[in-house]
Amino acid sequence: MPWRIDAYRRSVGGLAPTSIRAYAADVEHFAEWAERGGVEGPDGVSRLLLRRYLAFLATRGRSRATISRTAASLRSYFQWAARRGLVAADPSPRLSAPSPASRLPQVLGHDDLEQLLEPDAPTEGWSAADIRDDAVLELLYGGGLRVAELCALDLGDVDLEGRVVTVLGKGSKERRVLVHERAVAATSAWLEVRHELATEASPAHALFFNRRGRRLGTRDVRRILDRRSAVPTHPHALRHSFATHLLDGGADLRVVQ
């Protein structure tokens, strides 16, 4: 087996038997979860993937103590895997046990998302700002975009016919993102009324404007979420929810990464 869990179990023989069983079980459960997503061995694991797994455990109602132990188990395993040459570099050094001051990524439940995104809501009677808000939220979730990426979008970055958005991510790396049909429909509706929020001083190429006609900013996005969400929601939660729901739906883990 690529994960070599039996060999790892023997390597921690100095621990109490209950600790050995718990550590090995934690690693086995992670390996099974990763393999369901297409990752076949430890060399395909990144720090982000480890954080996703901890978030997954949180959505399944695991206690903070259990998640803390799992983080410790995975750190121990990947330190061992690095020493044995099973991974080029240990992805776990910054994998910290969750604490009240350092929460795991928030993942919205389907009920919260339905309330937030208002599926199939009619746009009759909506203001231009309402239609913009809908497009913003659909793109954040339906494309898994970072808030800064969304705010920086220009008209030329959006290909509605191809359902593709081109974003400039961290490290100035450009990537093309396939977005959900609902995000396409919401963005198309916004483009029809975009001129209503534009002013003479508005940046001509910006995709989204705020109420003053300026390019939409991160604070504007937070205000949109505050107005639309029934529960306190950080803008980045939509990105984490997007990834988690893709994995729950059987998406390839490497593609989601």
Evaluated on CA atoms 117, 120, 126, 127, the torsion sign reads positive
pLDDT at 88: 92
Structural domains in the chain? 5-83 (1.10.150.130), 110-256 (1.10.443.10)
Is residue 231 over pLDDT 90? Answer: no
Q: Are 138 and 187 in contact, with CB atoms under 8 Å apart?
A: yes
Asked whether the beta carbons of 228 and 133 are under 8 A apart, the reply is yes
CA-CA distance, 213 to 203, in Å (whole number)? 8
pLDDT for the residue 98:
54
Res 42 pLDDT > 90: yes
C-alpha to C-alpha distance for 252 and 257, rounded to whole angstroms: 9
**Which of 99, 136, 91 lies closest to 116 in space, CA to CA?**
136
Residue 214 has pLDDT above 50, yes or no: yes
pLDDT tens digits along 99-151 = 544 444 455 555 555 555 664 455 567 889 989 998 998 888 777 788 889 99
Cα–Cα dist 210/202, whole Å: 10
Choose between 253 and 13: higher pLDDT.
Answer: 13
* Helix and strand totals (H; E) in the chain: 11, 3
pLDDT exceeding 90 applies to what percent of the chain?
Answer: 39
- The mean of the pLDDT values for the chain is 80
For residue 105, the model assigns a pLDDT of 47
The pLDDT of residue 251:
39
**Nearest alpha-carbon partner for 175 in 183, 166, 162:** 166
pLDDT of 225 strictly over 60: yes
What is the SS3 string spanning 46-102?
Answer: CHHHHHHHHHHHHHCCCCHHHHHHHHHHHHHHHHHHHHCCCCCCCCCCCCCCCECCE
Separation CA 60–CA 97 (nearest Å): 17
**What is residue 249's predicted lDDT score, i.e. its pLDDT?**
45
